[in-house]
Amino acid sequence: MDKDFFKKNDYVIRRSFIDPNMCTLLYRYVCLAKARLEYIDLTTNGNFDEQPWGTFNDTQAPGDYSKYGDLLFDTLLELGVPTMKEMTGIDVIPTYSYHRLYTEKTILRRHKDRPSCELSTTLFLGHDISNLTDKNYSWPMGIKKKDGEEVEIHLNPGDMIIYRGCEVEHWRKQFKGLKHAQVFLHYNEKDGKYHMPFDTRPMLGLPGACRQERKKEPTRKSIDYGWEPENDYKTFDIID
Ligand SMILES: [Fe+2]
């Protein structure tokens, strides 16, 4: 049983969460979003608001395109709730989605995630490995299991790894291909120790500037949407 495996290992693999047609659509969507950001970056000399368009300055993958809380991927995040329950046995609430287009020679350092990523998934959308002779190449993600053993997990487009982001150390060694699109879908346990619906935004689909905790970071470029939550959301330090 998947949920027994998850309980024992703090991770589980869901094959074919989305079908090949959906993968093609989402992969091309991410590639176009990255090209759009390059255009905006060029025509504004880098003087643009990252909130609606994305960034090339994520410290986890500098130079690669990343975007928080995209409308389409936040929709996928919400659609993933029943699958999360099925695979983990845990009732979850959505926090946020984050997508990224990794490029040549990228490395993802070993890390754990912040509390909004208590229950996380990383979903492989598609890649460009036309520079490689090995057409079966699939960039693996490393995971340190509960018992200390380190495993490398290979996914096909549409597959995802579900893992306890705050507890399981994860990483990727250097990427050998040209492009690799991945979306992270993050959840909290419903009524659990974090329980931050929508990552403290008023609703899904809004940018990170709407996060209540983000207002406490004056150095970040952000928009004040004038929203003050009535809920007693918890605050925390950002790890990455
Ligand atoms: Fe992570």
Question: Using one digit for the tens of pLDDT, what is the confidence trace for 1-34?
Answer: 899 999 999 999 999 999 999 999 999 999 999 9
From ligand 1's centre to the CA of 117, what distance in Å?
A: 8
Question: Using one digit for the tens of pLDDT, what is the confidence trace for 49-107?
Answer: 898 999 999 988 999 999 999 999 999 999 999 999 999 999 999 999 999 999 999 99
Report the alpha-carbon distance of residue 73 to residue 219 in Å, rounded: 27
From ligand 1's centre to the CA of 178, what distance in Å?
A: 21
From ligand 1's centre to the CA of 107, what distance in Å?
A: 12
From ligand 1's centre to the CA of 9, what distance in Å?
A: 17
Question: Which neighbouring-strand residues pair with 128?
Answer: 179
Dihedral of CA 5/24/36/107: which sign?
A: positive
- Residue 188: name the closest of 197, 175, 177 by CA: 197
State if pTM tops 0.75: yes
Listed by start position, the domains of the chain span: 2-193
From ligand 1's centre to the CA of 45, what distance in Å?
A: 30
Report the alpha-carbon distance of residue 108 to residue 167 in Å, rounded: 17
- Residue 143: name the closest of 112, 174, 118 by CA: 112
Query: 2-193: CATH homologous superfamily?
Result: q2cbj1_9rhob like domain (2.60.120.620)
From ligand 1's centre to the CA of 4, what distance in Å?
A: 23
Report the alpha-carbon distance of residue 61 to residue 57 in Å, rounded: 7
